[in-house]
Amino acid sequence: MSKGKNEHLFQLIHALEKSEKRYVSLFLQKNSIGEKNNYLRLFNIYSNQKNPDENKIYTKLKKDFSRNKFTVTRHYLYNLILKALRFYHDQDSTERELQNELREISVLFEKKLFAHCLTKTNEGFKRAENNFLFTFLLEFCDWRLRLANVMMDLDYLQNQRERNYQLQWDSIEGLKEQKVLQSKNYENFVLIKTQWIKKGNVLPDKIAELKKMKAGEMKSPQAQLSYYQVLSGYYFTDGNEKQAMACLVKLNEVFEKNVEMQETHFNQYLACLNNLTLLLLDKRDFEKAEKNISVMRQLKVRTEERSARVKERWISAALRSALFRNEMAEQETLMNEIKEFCETKKISTVYRLLFYHELSSWHFFYGNRKTAITYLNKVLNESDKSLRPDIQRSARIMNFVFHYENNNTEYIRFMLKNFKRFRWKKEEEDKAEHFFFGFFTELVNAETKKVKKDIFLNLKKFIEENKKDKYISQFYLDNFDFEKWLKGKN
């Protein structure tokens, strides 16, 4: 196993949750041969390591392992862990259960237990049909014909053959519809992550093309889900929040009508609730927003990873709501919870970055400037500059603000002089960044209060003129309350 695969094993073991780790340990105990359970020994050593140091791990085992045996054992351990996880998560979804049923049908067929096969085939077909799982419907239709053939069921072959093939053609059409929308969904993801950061993008052609497909005529709720998900994304990218919200409301109705999809399409359901909540908060519809936040908080989840994903979203929305409503006590409670949450391993890098930004801004406006700079530095020091470029760009401007308030004018001059060092080299200086660069250059060189007042008035004017600019709002004005900062500068 190469160094890369050594790291893969380390990463897999350390990604396990407590319940998964217990299950894997029991699985390795039950599936060992001989007196020494080398797989379990190696598993425990990797579990206790803080980094994937291959030589350090091998040193603990070299009395019983040759280098070659160590490599082979490590390879098999990786596959055994995956096998254990397959058993552990077998009941997590209808798709996994149907995959297992198809494997069982194949085994029974080899044993020539055709009546058993037919019973399982009919049960699986009904579940696949009820859940619009067209890929599985195709396979169960094939098994029906195959079993009718070996069981000499001439009546079925004569009277149901064409109906069976028609079901397959319908399934292919349904699958094609789902895949077309799935492709558009991925295209939409790229648009949201790229074009939304460029000013002036509109998508009338894509919206018009997609709207030719009517949701009410689609063959499955999965297709309706993808349709509203893509269309809402198009409208969001195009800056049409009203239409985006209308699509999200329809998407939520699909989930409410097909409750089982809240589990089978959990990520999409969570994204729908989260995006709808954020748009409701932008409209200051706190009653509906708080209801959605409550729904997110009460979602039943099995894994720690999924629990963290849910918490990231509801606590972010709850904080946004508390900030809009100026609920100081609620803000403080949430900020303390966010601070603890950021110290856990399960939180994603994107949300950790977002929360550090929120903590920085909040502490700044409540007078804790040293703490504010500490959290801001965590954002500025993020090595992956492709993560939330809106947050990272606004953080660079906030850095000027914070140091100006701390009277660190020489440090600001140093930053201005070496400004390109503080920008990601692949980025181009935009209109707002150019303005703020000039703003702070003038501010630190201003010699009288009157000159400073005029400079701050220019900032106020810039904000007023660009409030409706989607790009500037997204990257700067929405991420830091410049107007609140300006109130003390008149």
pLDDT given at position 148 = 94
pLDDT given at position 417 = 80
Residue 60 CA to its chain's centroid (Å): 39
pLDDT given at position 440 = 93
Residue with token string 């004017």:
461
Residue with token string 């703003």:
439
**Helices marked H in 94-133 — which ranges?**
94-110, 114-130
pLDDT in tens, 11-68: 899 888 888 899 899 888 887 665 567 888 888 888 888 887 777 777 777 777 777 8
Instruction: Tell me the mean pLDDT in the region 132-160.
Output: 93
Tokens representing residue 213 in the block: 């497909």
| 96 contacts 90 by C-beta, under 8 angstroms | yes
Which residues, at least 6 apart from 380, have a Cβ–Cβ distance to it below 8 Å? Answer: 392, 395, 396, 399, 422
Instruction: Tell me the mean pLDDT in the region 225-250.
Output: 87
Tokens representing residue 31 in the block: 């599936």
Gyration radius from the chain CA atoms? 29
pLDDT in tens, 282-330: 999 999 999 999 999 999 887 888 899 999 999 999 999 999 999 999 9
| Number of separate helices (H) and strands (E) present in the chain | 26, 0
pTM of the model: 0.77
| 75 contacts 1 by C-beta, under 8 angstroms | yes
| 133 contacts 174 by C-beta, under 8 angstroms | no
Report the alpha-carbon angle 339-340-345, nearest 5: 110
Annotated domain spans of the chain: 3-88, 265-326, 379-490
Whether the predicted pLDDT of 238 surpasses 80: no
Whether the predicted pLDDT of 420 surpasses 60: no
Whether the predicted pLDDT of 388 surpasses 50: yes
Whether the predicted pLDDT of 355 surpasses 80: yes
| 90 contacts 100 by C-beta, under 8 angstroms | yes
- The backbone region for 200, taken as left when phi is positive above 0, alpha when psi lies in -120 to 50, beta otherwise, is left
Which range, 57-66, 205-214, 223-232, 383-392, has the best average confidence (pLDDT)? 223-232
